[in-house]
Amino acid sequence: MAAAQSISRDTQDARNETYQALAQTHGLLPIKVTPFYQKKVDEEVTALGHFGGPLARTVYPSDERLQLRAPGEVADWVDDRSNMIAQAKDIFIQKYENRILFTPTSTCAAHCLYCFRQDVLTEQKAGTQKTLDEQLKVLTAHLKAHAEVTEVILSGGDPLTLSYADLERIFVALAEIKSVSDIRIHTRVPIFAPSALKNDEKLALFAKYNVRMVLHSVHPYEICEDVIALLARMHAHGIRVYNHFPILRHVNDHADVLLELMQKLETHHVRTLSIYVPEPIYYSAAYRISYDRMCRIIDAVNQRAPSWLNSFRFCLDSPHGKVRRENLVMRDNDANILVFMREGQRIVYPDLPEKLDAPGDIKTLLWKTA
């Protein structure tokens, strides 16, 4: 880590500038950090003396992010566009018969530099988004004609950047569709800006409409006192909160980090649903891990975790849905290709070659405690 320790704020500023230019020309999400999260990054940078810590890497580019490329990277691995019907373009995605991903906003509180939706989000930000009324009209017409859809997941962007009034309009519209029994929100607002939920109005709204909340927390240091206080208030309102997240190189690629994150969340009534394989999208190599190393980390978690933490699934998302280790049917180690099957569909995953992988250092990953 000696080289990383000498990295100054000036060097990081230059790197940020290079990245911002790249973001403009290559459809990447620009750097955007909330003051709340920035404070944590500053504390980390001061403690470590460099920007290679897990929180800094979540929102700021590293040299690897700028330079490392892996074979088989594509713009949009899950191919969201192939799961949008023409009249619902940029409104909702339907990959499974019984649920729909509704994307009412392309705005996020901050930008996660590993974001696997960067391609579609960048395009949506550049275009003209339909008004919420127009989106709801298309969504509800579809839901009325498709009673097999029982769950609507609000994603984005981050739906918790919407106003109370907009969220209420969405919930009211969905409540009128009797076949929709479940509403879920995917968000990082509680992690990036918990003060956005500082009054109880929105929490009461989520409770009223029985909304499940899924955080995307990637590291235990994101779960600070302010976030814990918000989780306690959500719990007091009877809101069910879950977490799912990608395993990311030099952010959380160690069993100790994953266990600390899951344990901390469980203590505060948050159950971990899934740990995801990072998707092979353009400029993602800095965050990716070879499949075998991921499996070893997950095995270590499974061996050490108490049973109440062990119910999460480890999976890879794909244009045809999620696949797990048991769906792996073939591998070609020379070509670094893994083939998974789901419902008759072949998913060819370009693994990260071992030579491009480098495990995170636990003293950096858990710099407060290791």
Chain residues binding ligand SF4 by CB under 6 A are: 29, 108, 111-112, 115, 117, 156-158, 188, 216
Nearest residue (CB) to ligand SF4, 192 versus 256: 192
Whether the CB-CB separation of 208 and 44 falls below 8 Å is answered with no
Nearest residue (CB) to ligand SF4, 81 versus 296: 81
- Report the nearest approach of ligand SF4 to the CB of residue 339 (Å): 27
State how far the Cα of 43 lies from the Cα of 192, in Å rounded to an integer. 15
The token pair at 347 is: 């998913």
Q: What angle do CA 230, 231, 235 make, to 5 degrees?
A: 120
Tell which residue, 55, 39, 34, 44, has the closest CA to residue 220.
55
Supply φ then ψ for residue 203, to 5 degrees: -65, -40
- Report the nearest approach of ligand SF4 to the CB of residue 32 (Å): 8
- Report the nearest approach of ligand SF4 to the CB of residue 264 (Å): 20
- Report the nearest approach of ligand SF4 to the CB of residue 115 (Å): 3
Nearest residue (CB) to ligand SF4, 265 versus 305: 265
Tell which residue, 155, 108, 365, has the closest CA to residue 261.
365
Classify residue 131 by its DSSP letter: P
Which amino acid would we find at residue 275? I
Answer left, alpha or beta for residue 336, where phi above 0 means left and psi between -120 and 50 means alpha. Answer: left
Residue with tokens 């100054």: 8
Nearest residue (CB) to ligand SF4, 51 versus 116: 116
Nearest residue (CB) to ligand SF4, 24 versus 311: 24
- Report the nearest approach of ligand SF4 to the CB of residue 76 (Å): 13
Alpha helical stretches, state H, 153-272: 164-175, 189-192, 200-208, 225-236, 255-267
DSSP for 281-295, written as a single string: BTT-GGG---HHHHH
Nearest residue (CB) to ligand SF4, 186 versus 320: 186
- Report the nearest approach of ligand SF4 to the CB of residue 240 (Å): 20
